[in-house]
Chains A and B, each alone.
Chain A
Amino acid sequence: MSATNSDQSVTDDRVARIASSIRVIPDFPKPGIMFQDITTMLLDPVAFKDTIDLFVERYREKDISVVAGVEARGFIFGPPIALALGAKFVPIRKPNKLPGAVISEEYSLEYGTDKMEMHVGAVQTGERVLIIDDLIATGGTLAAAIKLLERVGANVVECACVIELADLKGRDHLGDKPVFVLVSST
Chain B
Amino acid sequence: MSDGENNGSADRIKAIKSTLRVVPDFPKPGMLFLDITTLLLDPKAFKDTIDLFVERYKQKDISVVAGIEARGFMFGPAIALAIGAKFVPLRKPKKLPGEVISEKYVLEYGTDCLEMHVGAVERGERALVVDDLVATGGTLCAAMNLLERAGAMVVECACVVEVPDLKGRERLRLHGTPLYVLIESQFEPTS
Contact = CB atoms under 8 A, between A and B. Distances in A.
A99 interface: yes
A45 B81 contact: yes
A55 interface: no
B88 interface: yes
Instruction: Indicate the size class of the contact surface on chain B.
Output: 35 or more
B73 A76 contact: yes
Interface string B19-44: 00101001100000101010011110
Chain A at the B interface: SS class: mixed
B97 A35 contact: yes
Contacts, number: 102
Contacts of B97: 25, 28-29, 35, 37
B98 A37 contact: yes
Contact of A100 (B23, B27, B87): B23
A157 interface: no
Contacts of B86: 42-45
B75 interface: yes
Contact of A72 (B26, B70, B88, B117): B70
Interface of B: 21, 23, 26-27, 33, 35, 37, 40-43, 46-47, 50, 69-71, 73-75, 77-78, 80-81, 84-89, 91, 94-98, 117, 120
Interface of A: 23, 25, 28-29, 35, 37, 39, 42-45, 48-49, 52, 71-72, 75-77, 79-80, 82-83, 86-91, 93, 96-100, 119, 122
User: A-B pairs with the 8 shortest C-beta distances?
Assistant: A75-B73, A99-B23, A99-B26, A28-B97, A25-B97, A89-B40, A42-B87, A99-B33
